[in-house]
Amino acid sequence: MIQAASPIRFTGQEWRACLALSMLYGLRMLGLFLVFPVLAAESQALQGGNDPMWVGIAAGVYGLTQAILQIPFGAASDRYGRRRVILIGLMIFAFGSVVAALATSIVGLAIGRALQGAGAISAAVTAFLADSTRDEVRTRAMALIGATIGLAFALSLVMAPVLSAMFGMSGLFWLTAALVVMAMLPVMRMAEPARRQTPEISFPEIRRIVLRDGQLMRLNLGIFMIHMTQTAIFVVVPLALIQMGLDLHDHWMLYLPVVIASFVLMLMPIFWSERTGRSRPAFLFAIALMGASIAGLGLAAPSLWPWALLLLGFFTAFNALEAFLPSWVSRVAPSSHRGLALGVYNTTQSLGLFSGGLLGGLMAKAFGATAVYWACAAAILVWGIISLGLKELGPRRPRAA
């Protein structure tokens, strides 16, 4: 007789790994995002801070250094251990925060931001989580990581103006350095997850393992697209909200409930996927929801309620895709080179952040805000068509005892 499958729960060890690594990831992303809402204004007090080019470099250079170093850090975690690489990356990140806090010029601030990005541990953290969880609960585990990105972004919008008024921009960087040092403590107590020893590999093998895998490259394109569109539309969304009469210091009143509600709504496709063992339909639905929400921003009248609903659709899709994508990559990639595959994945994520800011600024300057929404919606449409080639992985099976 076939019995109905009961929900599979996290083990105690899985819960500890999920909470510790989610907190670590969240603190790191908060440190990167926190300066965004105030950087342009606060930089005016720095030497050379009235140069828009250097302000833009200081805002986005962390994405570039992350993109350059994600693959080396991911591959190093395969060879030398996740925990060791994560701790080294956190030390670099904390050092960069101190450099930025002490900066008296916009160039010094840019150097500090570059060093923050040089602590490129995203791949190692994600691989650590994948090593520490079973296949059948991994999407939920990745959902916690994905949720921290949206939450960090929302918190940065709420906290940055208040903290900057109290402590200045340098205080934000000192706070970031202190939080990162605190986050190192639980990592030091975590046991290194069991994994297969990895021999040194050549670039032709990297291409064979990762870059020529059509499934992995579709997923890498996905993380690039969602972060490119997120960064691009938020070049223009805050200005649109101001034009609707919502003061900049009150934007958190819209963002915070929208992001929290999106965390709840994203659980429906994730739980459905885990219950049925079908990720592909839920994944494609999230892409469609994201594209429709962005297109809606280009069409909607300047009114807060329609925009709140469209942003809710966007963040629901964004958070769901943030959960699906790394889980899917971790299952498709060879276990012995999971860190490398996630390094490529996180490199494309960082390039998306860097490209989105560039795209949003250039499009808005040349063609206006509406062009940004339509360009992003078109990019999501192309990605959706390409993603039709993804193959269903099937239900997750419990590991043998």
Q: Which residue has the higher pLDDT, 2 or 243?
A: 243
Instruction: With beta carbons less than 8 A apart as the criterion, state whether 32 and 122 touch.
Output: no
Give the distance, in angstroms, between the CA of residue 296 and the centroid of all CA atoms in the same chain. Answer: 23
Averaged over 374-386, what is the pLDDT? 94
Mean of the per-residue pLDDT values of the chain: 79
Give strand ranges (E) for 305-352. Answer: none
pLDDT beyond 50 at 1: no
pLDDT beyond 90 at 290: yes
**Confidence band for 52, pLDDT divided at 50, 70 and 90:** low
Q: What is the DSSP letter of 336?
A: G
For 134-171, the pLDDT digits (tens) are 766 766 777 677 667 767 777 787 787 778 778 888 99
**Confidence band for 398, pLDDT divided at 50, 70 and 90:** very low
Class of CATH domain 14-189+212-387: mainly alpha
Question: What pLDDT is recorded for position 204?
Answer: 63
pLDDT beyond 80 at 14: no
> From residue 260, how far is each of 29, 32, 162, 216, 328 by CA, in Å?
17, 20, 20, 30, 24
Nearest residue to 218 via CA among 277, 273, 280, 276: 280
Domain residue extents for the chain: 14-189+212-387
Look at the block and give the residue holding tokens 């949206």.
150
How much of the chain, in percent, has pLDDT values that exceed 70? Answer: 83
Averaged over 63-79, what is the pLDDT? 83
pLDDT beyond 80 at 311: yes
pTM to 2 decimal places: 0.73
pLDDT beyond 50 at 211: yes
**Confidence band for 313, pLDDT divided at 50, 70 and 90:** very high
Q: Which residues pair with 47 in a beta bridge?
A: 105
For 80-137, the pLDDT digits (tens) are 888 889 999 999 999 999 999 999 998 999 899 899 989 888 778 877 887 777 766 7
